[in-house]
Amino acid sequence: MASAPTPIRLYNTFTHAKELLTPVRPGVVRIYSCGPTVYRYVHIGNLRTFMLPDLLCRTLEYLGYRTEQVMNITDVGHLVDDTFDRGEDKMLVSARLEKKSPEEIAAFYTEAFRLDAASVNIRPAAHYPHATHYIPQMIELIASLIEKGHAYEVGGTVYYDIASFAAYGRLSRNTTDKLLAGARGEVDPRKRHPGDFTLWKAAGEHRLQIWPSPWGPGFPGWHIECSAMSMSLLGDRIDIHTGGADNVFPHHEAEIAQSEGVTGHRVVGCWLHGEHLLLAGSRMAKSAGNFFRITELEEQGFDPLAFRYLALQARYRAKLNFSTAGLAGADRALRVLREHLADWSTDGRPVDFRSADVAGLESRFRSAIADDLDFPAAMALVAELTRSMLLPGAKASLLRAWDRVLGLDLDRPPPALALPTGAPELLAFREKARAAKDFAKSDELRDELAAIGVAVTDTPEGQRWKVHSSRDRGRA
């Protein structure tokens, strides 16, 4: 019989406390994650947010749970100014600028998102629902909200009546008064409250991405999409919902009002929010243009998993300042760790997992990840393991097990760097000098090789060499 999963505590934004996870179905954790709006490439800030459910699922599985994860693809309804339902749909803006249909834009950037996510070892979710495939479910929810007195229609647009939902503002700690004070600029005078948000928007002048509805042709609001997709795929009691810190308000606040307005009960058990990635102190943002794509970092010679290594060094609830210097450090550390693992793996002696040292480290690793995903603590244990007196084989086995959670692909051999021009000849001369026991000459050749980035060591089987990357050489 399988043993019971290890208990895990997670910080719930809804209750402002770390809570013990108690899945609706014991042993199975169902997770809904807000995914990308596919109108542009995702940046590494977005990837940090999408890495959170990946780390969560890997952790849960390591601790003995099964997981089912849904991540949506927003391909309609996310407005440029989403605060108070103004502005143009992001998909339509890109379609216009790139002279493509919204469907082409969505297909292109969805594929780009999948590739970028895969390059940082984010495992695919079980389902990737597209918002445009769930319009009937959204219409059904909106009709139910109108029937229950939570929504009203004006001229083909349907608004959520926030005054009808007593708990509105609880997740984000916004009172209705604060919401009122926060309403800036032009507000539709037909709204009962300036904070009422759009469930369905009348097509107006829109010609693209519109659907028929009981209120006339139009398109859904961004928030209703996640209520419809999450409940259609995971039912009306979901264990964990993830997103970025900026999703707390208005997106998730609205989602609670919608889902609970329809069902009459709490739908999401734990709301988990990842903090932002910053660049020079400001939030990395597609709209502000201050961002890096993971592919750009690869083009600069970094291993994309160095970004993952970097992200693991911060708590998910802490902001993380990105810099290429920080990334270079992570890239080096990752390479060294891979080299260690390769070295330790040559030890063929059997590993005793019950030995006190191994069991102690393993139990501390589990406690770290089960304590609200404390990856900085887990990475500190990786360093402790490296320095420890454990047998190399034990180190290799433990690190390989931990890498199922860390996802750093530590078994991947470091890329073999090509020998610089002239190096093969110098190595051949040195081989001859050693055979002739001309050690002065062989030392001289070793220095020459070092100067062009080739480190040579002598072993009983002959000379071995390693090529250092140009980045290392620049720093030497």
The site for Zn ion (CB under 5 A) is made up of 34, 226
* 326 binds ligand AMP, rule: CB under 6 A: no
Query: What are the backbone angles phi and psi of residue 106, rounded to the nearest 5°?
Result: -65, -45
Select 75 or 196, whichever has its Cβ closest to ligand AMP.
75
Instruction: Specify the DSSP class assigned to residue 415.
Output: P
**Residue 109 beta carbon to ligand AMP: minimum distance, rounded to whole angstroms:** 9
- Shortest separation between residue 186's beta carbon and ligand AMP, angstroms: 24
What is the helix (H) or strand (E) element at residue 58, kind and residue range?
helix 44-62
40, 82, 50, 38: which is closest to 222 by C-alpha?
82
- Nearest CB to Zn ion, comparing residues 41 and 222: 222
Q: How far is the CB of 278 from ligand AMP (least distance, A)?
A: 7
Length of the chain: 476
Strand partners, 9: 20, 371
Tokens of 353: 């997992």
Q: Which span sits near ligand AMP by CB under 6 A: 135-143, 182-190, 284-292, 394-402?
A: 284-292
Instruction: Indicate which of Zn ion, ligand AMP, none lies near residue 45 (CB less than 5 to 8 Å, by partner kind).
Output: ligand AMP
Q: Rounded CA gap, 327 and 307, in Å?
A: 6
Max CA separation in the chain (angstroms): 94
276 makes contact with ligand AMP (CB under 6 A):
yes
The reply to whether 285 sits near ligand AMP by the rule CB under 6 A is yes
Per CB under 6 A, the segment of 24-32, 281-289, 323-331, 449-457 that binds ligand AMP is 281-289
Q: Which of 139, 284, 369, 382 binds ligand AMP (CB under 6 A)?
A: 284
Near ligand AMP in 185-204, by CB under 6 A? none
From the list Zn ion, ligand AMP, none, which binds 240 (C-beta under 5 to 8 Å, kind-based)? none
- The residue among 398, 397, 400, 418 whose CA lies nearest residue 408 is 400
**Rounded-to-integer distance, Cα 43 and Cα 23, Å:** 32
Among the listed residues 30, 48, 150, 193, the single contact to ligand AMP using CB under 6 A: 48
Paired tokens of 393: 């084989």
Q: Which does 277 bind (CB under 5 to 8 A by kind): ligand AMP, Zn ion, none?
A: ligand AMP
Q: Nearer to Zn ion by C-beta: 33 or 213?
A: 33
For residue 79, state whether it binds ligand AMP (rule: CB under 6 A): no
Binding residues among 205-244 for ligand AMP as defined by CB under 6 A: 243-244
Is 274 within 8 Å of 316 (Cβ atoms)?
Answer: yes
Q: Which is nearer to ligand AMP, 143 or 171 (CB)?
A: 171
Helix (H, G, I), strand (E, B), or coil: what is residue 46?
A: helix
How many residues of this chain bind ligand AMP (CB under 6 A)?
17
DSSP per position, 398-441: HHHHHHHHH---TTSPPPPPPPPTTHHHHHHHHHHHHHTT-HHH
242 in Cβ contact with 274 (< 8 Å):
yes
Q: Residue 129, Cβ neighbours under 10 Å: how many?
A: 22
Return the residue matching tokens 């009546």.
161
Q: Where do contacts with ligand AMP occur on this chain (CB under 6 A)?
A: 34, 36-37, 45-46, 48-49, 243-244, 246-247, 276-277, 283-286
